[in-house]
Amino acid sequence: MVDCPIIWTEKKKIFLVESSLMPCPHKFQEYLNLEKLDFLPEIVIVGTFNPAWPEGNYAEWFYGRIRNNYFWDVLPRMIDPELSLRRKGIHTKEWKLFCKQNKFALTDLIYCIEDADSQNPAHREALKSYSDASICRYFSAITFTDILGILHRFPTIKQVYLTTQATIEVFNQQWIEIENYGQENGLTVKRLLTPSASARFQMGTYKSDNPLDKTPLRNFIYQQWKNTWGT
């Protein structure tokens, strides 16, 4: 991949490579800069991307594909170990109310993929996979959410978490800047294990060590988050 010049804009940062034909915006783009919040957040959870146009993306809000994602099971358990908001038929109002009550804000690193083409089968498959590695492999012109701008606008934020530990260059570049800002301003900035089903590949001996656990993956992710959470 060629080196990409970086252009700073007021709201976000852009990697420019080629002019795009059909950008793929984030499905919940209007939420990414936290402009819809009616409370002052204290904790920000940062994901990577939720594409707007691949077939089969039934998510109605962040981490809404609950069949293969444990976010709405694990995050509530950071507050109450017995609380889960991951169930079929749940309304997004419950997720948003939980976030408001506990001062959580949700956003993602990617605002829009500018060089995505919905007529390109490889692009459609890459986005349909929800794979961060595929994003890096197929796309170069990416507009990023201005996370640093969010932190400037909301000095109430004291903790920032990224919901992936994967070492993918395009995301690492963004996250390092956030980590540096956190160090300079006394914030807790950490990476969490992915809450997606792919966390099963990192379970190691957890299942054999916990033979009575009937829901080992959800509890494994919970334990990993619990070990990382906080200062």
Domain assignment present for 31? yes
Domain assignment present for 196? yes
- Could you tell me which residue, 223 or 56, shows the higher pLDDT? 223
Domain assignment present for 102? yes
Expressed as residue numbers, the domain containing 175 is 6-228
- Could you tell me which residue, 21 or 58, shows the higher pLDDT? 58
Residue labelled with tokens 């783009």 = 29
Is residue 32 over pLDDT 80?
A: yes
Residue labelled with tokens 């995050």 = 75
Measured torsion, CA atoms of residues 220, 221, 223, 224, in degrees rounded to the nearest 10: 120
Kindly indicate the confidence band of residue 96, based on its pLDDT and cuts at 50, 70 and 90: very high
pLDDT of residue 15: 43
Kindly indicate the confidence band of residue 123, based on its pLDDT and cuts at 50, 70 and 90: confident
- Could you tell me which residue, 78 or 89, shows the higher pLDDT? 78
Kindly indicate the confidence band of residue 129, based on its pLDDT and cuts at 50, 70 and 90: confident
What average pLDDT does this structure show over 123-141? 81
Burial (Cβ within 10 Å: 0-12, 13-18, ≥19) of residue 165 = middle
What Å distances lie between residue 86 and 65, 101, 192, 195, CA to CA? 10, 17, 18, 12
CATH of the domain at 188: 3.40.470.10
What is the pTM assigned to this prediction? 0.86
Q: What is the pLDDT of residues 151-178, one digit of tens each?
A: 999 999 999 999 999 888 888 989 999 9
Under the phi-then-psi rule, with left for phi > 0, alpha for psi from -120 to 50, and beta for the rest, what region is 162? beta
Domain assignment present for 166? yes
Domain assignment present for 131? yes
Percent of the chain at pLDDT > 90 equals 65
Measured torsion, CA atoms of residues 34, 118, 134, 32, in degrees rounded to the nearest 10: 0
Other Cβ atoms closer than 10 A to 15: 19
Average pLDDT of the chain is: 88
Kindly indicate the confidence band of residue 231, based on its pLDDT and cuts at 50, 70 and 90: low
Is residue 3 over pLDDT 50?
A: no
Is residue 48 over pLDDT 50?
A: yes
Domain assignment present for 79? yes
pLDDT of residue 13: 45
Q: What is the pLDDT of residues 179-221, one digit of tens each?
A: 999 999 999 999 999 999 999 999 999 999 999 999 999 999 9
CA gyration radius for the chain?
Answer: 18
Segment holding 177, helix H or strand E: helix 169-185
pLDDT of residue 116: 85
Burial (Cβ within 10 Å: 0-12, 13-18, ≥19) of residue 45 = buried
- How many structural domains comprise the chain? 1
Domain assignment present for 136? yes
Other Cβ atoms closer than 10 A to 67: 8
Contact 175, 168 (CB under 8 A): no
What is the C-alpha separation between 38 and 177, in angstroms, rounded?
27
Domain assignment present for 1? no
Is residue 16 over pLDDT 70?
A: no
Q: What is the pLDDT of residues 60-75, one digit of tens each?
A: 899 998 989 999 999 9
